[in-house]
Amino acid sequence: MIAYPVAVNEEGIADLRQRHWAITSVLAGMVLVVPHASIANIALPTIATSLKVNPASVVQVITAYQLGLVM
């Protein structure tokens, strides 16, 4: 693993440019995860009828899917 030097001033605060990239990457991840979770929740009734299971079982599948997205 390559360790890149971090530009830190005397107060221990990272460079403003690095903070902007960090915030941008977190927001980009959120932009990708939120629609995926919404689509899965909208498809919940269709998934339940296709798999011929009760809604409680499908909710567990969706919860596992969303946990995977979050991780």
Whole-structure pTM value: 0.51
Report pLDDT digits (tens) over 29-52.
888 888 877 888 888 888 888 889
CA 52, CA 42: separation in Å to the nearest integer? 17
- Does 58 have pLDDT greater than 60? yes
Q: Is the pLDDT of residue 67 over 80?
A: yes
Say if residue 56's pLDDT is above 70. Answer: yes
Bigger pLDDT: 9 or 65? 65
In sequence order, what are the residues at sequence separation of 6 or more whose Cβ sits closer than 8 angstroms to the Cβ of residue 61? 47
